[in-house]
A = this chain, B = another copy of it.
């Protein structure tokens, strides 16, 4: 497998521009013989496909259904089997919290305990997000020596705490015993260097318990997913790109930020707003990651029709993107989310690569099965970035 150090050695900065358009959960499964993509009326993508080379992409490895983290690691050229994004970091990333290198991020669940301290509800009756926000404001005021503390709401009973300080360790045991009637566990150190961190977390939990005691059913917190940001290769350092991310959901902004992308401001949350941001910033960057969330949301909801509509809606903006004259334009998904499964799946995702240097194949329709017969064949997602850099003529020859 290609080594990122080699790519770093071979990439050079050129004026050429790359656009990676990701329809989240794009791949589907047929209902009445046709997948969502096969059913959609997409004249612009079908026209573009005839000038492109196509293939199907395994986000991680055949048979593996990825979460959003691993799926985007793959798209960005990082082996998702080698790099892992911990649960705490993913939660912080998901609310677009600006994590720093040495931060320790932890997922909080608000919970209910009885007078003896035993857990009676591990999700505090799924309190409202509004109440969650108020409680987080209180917990955010906890002040401990040697660390800065940030407590931020996520949704319902879920929140995140970030500890900022020196020498914090992620080797801490989860405090959720995963059963009712038990006492919360201690945030025990799992290795010697985690002892100081363990004490800090213990103090934080006991302060939180005091603050929350009048707020039944949310009168306790359970902690899991202690994790620090993985040292992911930044796009500027590895690929020598000046990258921008265009996304409407915080999770994807956060993931892009982990790779050192700049997050562009949007005027709204529609595809139109995303494409406008692309147009307005096209001169200032040489790599654009555009994330479309609607396809995945519709798939997760099992809403076949809506997924078709989102794809058709994206198709309308293809001419506007092509007018910018990118040197490499790729359209794909991060994984499949077939409406019939109402969840992410392991099925490969169609990929279209348009560039003056591509060997145009005979694929005449942008769909899962048509792309499987394309000139790129079947490939792992981590090959997408090297291919894009090659077609943008940003890669030097390897060896003499």
A residues touching B (Cβ–Cβ < 8 Å)? 1-3, 6, 10, 29-30, 35, 56, 60-70, 80-81, 84-85, 87, 90, 341, 343-347, 357, 359-362, 368-369, 372-373, 375-379, 383, 385-390, 395-400
Contact B377 A375 (CB under 8 A): no
Do A399 and B62 touch across chains, with their CB atoms under 8 A apart? no
Contact yes or no, B64 A395, CB < 8 A: yes
Interface contacts beyond A2-B63, A64-B398, A80-B399: sample of 6 additional A-B pairs, CB < 8 Å, sorted by A: A63-B386, A63-B389, A66-B397, A67-B398, A85-B399, A372-B375
B398 touches A66 (CB 8 A): yes
Most buried by B among A30, A343, A369: A369
18 interchain pairs, CB-CB under 8 A? A1-B61, A29-B359, A61-B383, A62-B383, A62-B387, A65-B398, A67-B399, A67-B400, A68-B399, A69-B400, A80-B398, A87-B400, A344-B397, A345-B357, A345-B390, A361-B369, A362-B369, A377-B377
Closest 8 CB pairs of A and B: A63-B386, A377-B378, A67-B399, A63-B390, A70-B399, A62-B383, A346-B390, A63-B387
Which of B2, B70, B344, B357 is the one whose CB lies under 8 Å from A341? B357
CB distance from A56 to the nearest CB of B (A): 8
User: What residues of chain B lie closer than 8 Å to A341, measured between beta carbons?
Assistant: 357
Contact check, A69 vs B346: say whether CB atoms are below 8 A apart.
no
CA distance A388 to B62 in the complex (A): 10
Are B372 and A361 touching (Cβ within 8 A)? yes
Cβ–Cβ contact B3 & A63, under 8 A: no
CA distance A347 to B35 in the complex (A): 31
Closest beta carbon of chain B to A195's beta carbon, Å: 28
Which residues of chain B are within 8 angstroms of A345 by Cβ–Cβ distance?
357, 390
A375 to chain B, nearest CB (A): 5
Q: Are B29 and A357 interface neighbours, CB within 8 A?
A: yes
A6 to B379, CA, bound (A): 21
State how many angstroms separate the Cβ of A382 from the closest Cβ of chain B: 9
A389: chain B residues within 8 A (beta carbon) = 63
How far, in whole Å, are A372 and B70 apart by their CA atoms in the complex?
29
Q: A341-B357, A397-B67 are in contact. Are A2 and B61 (CB under 8 A)?
A: yes
A383–B379 Cα distance when bound, in Å, is: 13
Closest to A400 in B: B67
Task: Give min CB distance, A378 to chain B, whole Å.
Answer: 4
- CB-nearest residue of chain B relative to A338? B357
A65 to chain B: closest residue by CB: B397
Is A368's CB under 8 angstroms from B378's CB? Answer: no
Residues of B within 8 A of A344 (CB): 397
| Pick from B2, B361, B395: contact of A81, CB under 8 Å | B2
Report how far A152 CA is from B285 CA in the complex, Å: 48
Chain B residues within an 8 Å CB radius of A383 = 61-63
B395 close to A346 (CB less than 8 A) = yes
B residues in contact with A87, CB < 8 Å: 400
- CB neighbours (8 Å) of A64 from chain B are 2, 10, 386, 390, 395, 398
Say whether A369 contacts B378, CB under 8 Å.
no
Within the assembled complex, what's the spacing in Å between the Cα atoms of A397 and B397?
A: 38
User: Across the two chains, which residue of chain B brings its CB closest to A385?
Assistant: B63
Residues on the B chain within 8 Å of A398, using CB = 60, 64-67, 70, 80
Q: Which of A80, A396, A397, A398: most chain B CB closer than 10 A?
A: A398
Contacts A65-B398, A81-B6, A357-B341 given; does A375 touch B386 at CB 8 Å = no
Determine the chain B residues whose CB is within 8 A of the CB of A10 once the complex forms.
Answer: 64
Separation of A163 and B63 alpha carbons in the complex (Å): 41
Contacts of A62 in B (CB 8 A): 379, 383, 386-387, 390
Contact A359 B400 (CB under 8 A): no
C-alpha spacing A178/B302, complex, angstroms: 62
**CB atoms of B376 and A373 under 8 A apart:** no
